[in-house]
Amino acid sequence: MPPFSIVLMAKRIEYQQPRLALRAMASNKPFGKVIVCFDGSNDSIKAIKLAGSFASNYQSEVTIVHVYSSPAVGFSAASGIPIPDYKALEDAKKETAKSVLAKGVRAASDEGFKAKGELIEAPSVVEAMVEFATTEKADLIIVGTRGMTGFKKLILGSVSSGLVNHAPCNVLVAR
């Protein structure tokens, strides 16, 4: 029996408490696998703090993921100039990405929970995160509102917006 009823113009309308609509969880326990999309920004630090709540309340397995792209170097074979060796640029980019990921894993440890880190090289953060979440059968992705992607979106970042629209699981956007 509902907590109360409303009679309006001789028609009875029953009040039902709103329910949280969640997609079916991939694992047996709610929020068993949580992925944090981390880019080193303040909003992604907030995402890690939220992940700590899920880790303590639901015993969630947390993975912090940092996606980086190789440096783009323009080159035209028609110019006759030898193809440049930009391995040093790639190595520097990868080392920077490793340090960003280490910062995220340290932040999790500082919040009092254990998280594993995953470094992914891909041209699109959204595509890489969707693929990773699908492969890992994640129950939840936590992402910051705005990251370090520049001036693409002012209110909701392009990565968070893309994940909300394309992720195979629930997405929590941290503010």
Does 5 fall in a domain?
no
Domain around 104: 19-70+84-174
Full DSSP string of 10-55: TEEEE--------PPPSSSSTT-EEEEE--SSHHHHHHHHHHHHHH
Residue of higher predicted confidence among 103 and 87: 103
Which CATH number fits the domain that encloses residue 118? Answer: 3.40.50.620
Q: Could you tell me the pTM of the whole model?
A: 0.76
* Tens-digit pLDDT profile for residues 34-66: 999 999 999 999 999 999 999 999 999 999 999
* Tens-digit pLDDT profile for residues 152-174: 444 446 888 899 999 999 999 99
DSSP state of 71: P
In this prediction, residue 89 carries a pLDDT of 83
Least confident of 23-27, 28-32, 124-128, 157-161: 23-27
State the total domains in the chain: 1
Residue 1, judged by CB atoms within 10 A of its CB (0-12, 13-18, 19+), counts as exposed
